[in-house]
């Protein structure tokens, strides 16, 4: 049996608000589910201007290795590999990694 204080707390809780808070947390930008849904809209072979600018800022020496954490569809990893850099690309979204794989085949 539940004591009075716990019962009162359970009955007065805002369960709808709690559910909404949990749903919002589940759909954060760092949630792989959200990135899995977005993956089909990414085109890894189209190098975005930010990727070109970022690669210039890197100022890598020829042959330097790169670890691309959060590589997504490969907008940075693919051009770096094409430029001759060994690249390790990692992402928590399986769909983004699938898009990356399709871009390098």
Please give the pLDDT value at position 73. 87
Nearest to 85 by CA among 102, 52, 105, 61: 61
pLDDT tens digits for 29-72?
Answer: 666 777 777 777 776 656 678 888 888 888 899 999 999 999 98
Return the beta strands (E) in the chain as ranges: 66-69, 87-90
DSSP 59: -
Cα distance between residue 43 and residue 77, in whole Å: 13
The hierarchical CATH code for the domain 32-104 is: 3.40.50.150
Cα distance between residue 19 and residue 94, in whole Å: 27
Strand partners, 45: none
The tokens describing 89, both together, are 């690309």
90 pLDDT band (50/70/90 cuts)? very high
* pTM of the predicted model as reported, rounded to 2 decimal places: 0.62
């Amino acid at each position: 049996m539940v004591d009075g204080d716990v019962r009162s707390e359970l009955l007065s809780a805002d369960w709808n608000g709690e559910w909404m808070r949990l749903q919002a947390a589940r759909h954060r930008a760092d949630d792989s589910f959200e990135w899995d849904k977005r993956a089909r809209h990414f085109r890894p072979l189209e190098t975005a201007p930010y990727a070109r600018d970022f690669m210039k800022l890197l100022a890598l020496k020829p042959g330097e290795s790169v670890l691309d954490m959060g590589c997504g569809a490969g907008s940075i990893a693919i051009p770096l590999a094409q430029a001759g850099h060994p690249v390790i690309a990692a992402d928590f979204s399986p769909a983004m990694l699938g898009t990356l794989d399709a871009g390098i085949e």
